[in-house]
Amino acid sequence: MNPLYNIWNYNYIQQQAQQQYHQNQVQQVLEAAHKLQDYLDSVDKVDPAYQGAMTAACCGVLLDYAKKHGLI
């Protein structure tokens, strides 16, 4: 099929948009998983004497997130 024809082909355009959206979401999932792994690796580096403070700080971040998104 002539690529120029696809400029006017609504189904083709919609399919391309859906594929791009899917690829973007897959990339976001991979990035989030990588960031979680980085976080967990950093937790391993915290001295046990400071893990209580780390837990409290993380809970504060989670609380702020929940408030921001209307979860609580």
Looking at residue 41, what is its pLDDT? 95
Of residues 41 and 10, more confidently modeled: 41
CA atoms of 45 and 11, how far apart (whole Å): 52
Looking at residue 9, what is its pLDDT? 85
pLDDT in tens, 26-72: 999 999 999 999 999 999 999 999 999 999 999 999 999 999 999 99
What 3-state DSSP class applies to 70? Answer: coil
Residue 43's identity, in one-letter code, is: V
- Give residue 8's pLDDT band: very low, low, confident or very high (50, 70, 90): confident
Tokens for 19, please give them: 């594929």
CA atoms of 70 and 72, how far apart (whole Å): 5
Looking at residue 26, what is its pLDDT? 98
